[in-house]
Structure 1
Amino acid sequence: MRTDDHASISARLDQAEVLVDTYSDYDTEAARQRVDAKAASIPPEAAPGASRTPAAHEQAARDLDLAVALIVDTPQAATALAQLADDDRPDPEGAVVFGALLHLARAHDAAQFWWQFAAGGGNRTAAFCLYLAHGRRAEFSDARYWRAEARRLSAPDSTSPAPAARPRPLLPETIRHQLLTQCHSGSRPTLPARLEAVINRLPVDPDNDFGTIPRPVPTLTRDLPHGH
């Protein structure tokens, strides 16, 4: 029997309130409905491993992929990432977005570095991503720690005014649609080669624990949609 992967993902996202606190005016439920609509059009046999229940680390990997796809789909993602690159004191919300991009570019250790930075700044979404990232590697003791941190961190004040104009999306609509569709076809969501090349050209800094860590530049949000 095929398991209901979307039900499991939704339950995990609901429990952590992932994205709700970081992007308080983003309609997460509408995003999930778009995911449901895409998933409904995919034949059951299209998903690899459909005849068995996924192992815990496999389910964590799927959940993380969807969380990352939703993060880069948020209207505020480009603004947060730009602030991370421009500010003297990097913003945790931008670090969550940058970590999501690095995950999509298969730079998993670097993604973990930026999520730990964001979680250290009190970001609950980052802690939830770390919970799934460690679960994906079957590092369940570390996963439990970050799950507890995601529960412990409180949501920020949601009364801040909404931006006057609708923010420019981080990625083109066709790519954001593709990422969500890949999640529910059972495939790993990945950036097109031209956008992954933009990430791979970023300057890097060495880190004793995480190896080579890319850092964002002020032009990143302008470069990504075009991938030149």
Structure 2
Amino acid sequence: MPRTDEPAPIEGLLEGAEVLADTYDDYDTEAARRRVRDRCAEYTASPDVPPRYPSAHEQAAHDLNLAVALIVNAPQAAVSLSRLADQDRMDPEGAVVFGALLHLAGHRDAAQFWWQFAAGGGNRTAACCLFLAHRRRAEFRDAAYWHGQCRGPAGQGQPPPATPAPAPVTSFPLLPETVRHDLISQCRRGRNPSLPASLEAVINRLRVDSADEDFGEVPQPDVALTGELARGPVKPQ
């Protein structure tokens, strides 16, 4: 199938996407985006990994891994994930974070389910992840659709996303600092980033909804998930 679109660099897509931008009224979104750009610039300048890959699907896989690592690194990721599991109306921003965790744990189809949920709520970060996920599988027609949604409201014709709930005063990291840094380091070395086995086991223990005919078994968020992830990997005795 011929390619229908050339992808923008990952830093360009993240600049246009609303990466959890509305979670805090007093959060300096522009400063956060500058940190993302600086992290991407530092990453692509690394001599350890070539900045471009020889095929579209390899480049997309690399860019998706980097985007996922940055999503779980976001300061407000834990709060967004908590709201996904702890309220009647599920939060699209939390669904982006949950999809990123599922991707890291190897549940790629389930990650797509939650990103599609978030994109349907108007989240452009989720649309960016879907663009890269489809391009990684050389599904260029679907990738082209989601590429368009990265630059404008996802799910045209649907009602606008609901106003976020009032933000809490404080936040806490979703993952321990050493784990978050290791995810970026794995990307720098050209590896597929993955969580430590004990944190992956936390995700694998989540309740599963097996009723979805397109995605099969889809893990569901749990109110205790953020606390278990924040405690970090279990150290050997």
TM-score, with structure 2 as normaliser: 0.80
Moved more, 22-31 or 71-80: 22-31
Matched residue count: 215
SS of equivalent to 2:230: coil
Structure 1 counterpart of 2:144 = 144
Deviation for aligned residue 1:20: 6.3
Question: Percent identity between the aligned chains?
Answer: 57
Structure 1 counterpart of 2:10 = 9
Aligned residue runs from structure 1 range 1-228, under 5 A? 8-14=9-15, 16-19=16-19, 21=21, 25=27, 26=29, 27-37=32-42, 42=46, 44=47, 46-47=48-49, 50=50, 53-153=53-153, 163-165=168-170, 167-206=171-210, 207-226=212-231, 227=233
Is the 2:122–2:161 contact (alpha carbons within 8 Å) kept by the matching residues of 1?
no
- For 1:73 and 1:58, how far apart are their aligned partners in 2? 23
- For 2:203 and 2:35, how far apart are their aligned partners in 1? 29
SS of equivalent to 1:145: helix
- Higher normalized helix content (fraction of residues): 1
Is the 1:81–1:97 contact (alpha carbons within 8 Å) kept by the matching residues of 2?
yes
| Gaps in structure 1 of 5+ consecutive residues | 1-6
SS of equivalent to 1:152: coil
- For 1:101 and 1:64, how far apart are their aligned partners in 2? 12
Is the 2:53–2:59 contact (alpha carbons within 8 Å) kept by the matching residues of 1?
no
| Gaps in structure 2 of 5+ consecutive residues | 1-7, 155-159
- Letter in structure 1 aligned against 2:90: P
Deviation for aligned residue 1:34: 3.9
- For 2:69 and 2:136, how far apart are their aligned partners in 1? 16
CA RMSD of aligned residues (A): 2.7
Change over 3 Å in CA distance of 1:64–1:189 after alignment to 2: same
- For 2:204 and 2:69, how far apart are their aligned partners in 1? 19
Deviation for aligned residue 1:36: 4.2
